[in-house]
Amino acid sequence: MSSKRAAQWAWALTAWANHAFATTVLVGFFPIFFDQYWAAKLPGTTSTFYLGLTNSSAAFIVMLLAPWLGALSDRRGEKKLWFGIWSAVGALATAALCLIGAGHWGWALAVFGLGSIGFFAGSSFQDALIVQVADAHQTNRVSSLGFALGYLGGGLIFLLNVLLVKYPHWFHVADASTAIRIAFVDVALWWIVFSLPLFRYVHEAAPTAIATGWRELWHTLRAVLRDRPVLNFLLAYWLYIDAIGTLQQMAVDFGIKLGFSSNALIQALLLVQFVSFPSALLFGRLGDRIGTRRAIYLGLAVFVALTCFAYFIQNERQFYILAAVVGTVQGGVQALSRSYFARLIPRERAGEYFGFYNMLAKFAAVLGPLAMGVVAIATGNQRLSILVLEVFFIGGALLLARVRDPDAVR
């Protein structure tokens, strides 16, 4: 294998590593364990509000940090270092969840929030490193490979943990509660181990000569505001990625409040992971064939239809259908969006620009879960909360229409 291919696979493995947190913890076991163990004495709508508030708070913190850290990493050539630091923070916090006892929902949310910060912040530097491993004509393929491996790796470790929780005696574990605690620890180990190849095979770009700090950050912000293709794309991305991220973070809690069993929700999440693996790869090819923007439009159109469908869900079979269709488009839209942006920006300042990219993503994620939580607690109707996402999908698609093809821009 050539050094370039080895670097691409090592970079893609970081998604295999950190998606263990996304599947097992962020959208899988934590919402269930929080609702049924740590916050069992809280009303359902109140626990939904607190969970949404914690997700939003973690995203808000990353939103503030990402651009400044991105500028710092560009200047010093330290994207790998910061990726490692935040991945370690996230993994250690995830492992610490196993130490929190029943009823201590405040501690559970605080530690979960720290793990989420590590995941989101590390992902920003992971995104920025794509320009170190892929040329412009390779970004669709390499970005899609990353998301595909992320869903496959996240799905496999999630499957292992589901078996661990459902059949603890197979693993000589006392009960399901103990099994979930073990799952938090094995996610942390998975996250760390599969992140290591990046540090060997991906070479950091040379440090830039520009100054860093808030002055340079302000300079970059002004440059973004003047660059219409970049600005329009970021605004579009800000809207539609909010809805996608909110669906990922709040889907299990939504299903619980509709009365679906934990087993059905976990099986639906597994279905999403394994459908997303081939679908992300196919979307990369689709983007090369019909154009990246058109492929993103296709995915957003499917999400609009799915959000309407979610409002009318009555049974678990329909929830499985929803999960399967989500899996066909979510990885593709995410992968092609990252690829699209990487082709719009100055490659030598990828850390800084991807800091803004992730800042807007996290600012959007501040609004989405919080909006769902507020609607749920204000109306007492969990179904109404899902319709909030329509605004974000449609608004993002309309703004994306104002973005020219990146090959025609630079």
**Tens of pLDDT along 294-313?**
999 999 999 999 888 988 88
User: What average pLDDT score do residues 18-26 get?
Assistant: 91
Chain centre to alpha carbon of residue 89: 17
**Tens of pLDDT along 267-292?**
888 888 889 889 989 988 998 888 88
Of residues 402 and 250, the one with the higher pLDDT is 402
How far apart (Å, rounded) are the C-alpha atoms in residues 13 and 194? 6
Confidence at residue 410, expressed as pLDDT on a 0 to 100 scale = 44
Confidence at residue 270, expressed as pLDDT on a 0 to 100 scale = 84
pLDDT at position 211 over 60? no
User: What average pLDDT score do residues 50-64 get?
Assistant: 82
Give the DSSP letter string of 48-76.
Answer: HHHHHHHHHHHHHHHHHHHHHHHHHHHHH
Averaging pLDDT over each range in 94-98, 318-322, 356-360, which range is the top one? 94-98
How far apart (Å, rounded) are the C-alpha atoms in residues 183 and 25? 9
pLDDT at position 169 over 60? yes
**Tens of pLDDT along 233-278?**
888 998 898 888 777 766 766 777 778 887 787 788 888 888 988 9
Query: Are 344 and 233 a contacting pair, CB within 8 Å?
Result: yes
Confidence at residue 14, expressed as pLDDT on a 0 to 100 scale = 96
Confidence at residue 365, expressed as pLDDT on a 0 to 100 scale = 58
pLDDT band of residue 136 (cuts 50, 70, 90) is confident
Residue 408: is it exposed, middle or buried by C-beta count within 10 angstroms (0-12/13-18/19+)?
Answer: exposed
Confidence at residue 409, expressed as pLDDT on a 0 to 100 scale = 46
Confidence at residue 210, expressed as pLDDT on a 0 to 100 scale = 52
Query: Are 285 and 138 a contacting pair, CB within 8 Å?
Result: no
The domains of the chain, with CATH numbers, are 3-202+211-409 (1.20.1250.20)
Collapsing DSSP states into helix, strand and coil, what is residue 2? coil
Helix axes 228-257, 262-290, angle to 10 degrees: 160
pLDDT band of residue 145 (cuts 50, 70, 90) is very high
Give the DSSP letter string of 103-171.
Answer: T-HHHHHHHHHHHHHHHHHHHHHHHHTHHHH--GGGHHHHHHHHHHHHHHHHHHHHHHHHHHHH-GGGG
Query: Are 354 and 237 a contacting pair, CB within 8 Å?
Result: no
User: What average pLDDT score do residues 148-153 get?
Assistant: 92
Torsion (CA) 51, 54, 59, 62 in degrees, nearest 10: -150
Collapsing DSSP states into helix, strand and coil, what is residue 232? helix
Lowest mean pLDDT among 58-67, 80-89, 189-198, 203-212: 203-212
pLDDT band of residue 161 (cuts 50, 70, 90) is very high
pLDDT at position 70 over 80? no
Confidence at residue 32, expressed as pLDDT on a 0 to 100 scale = 81
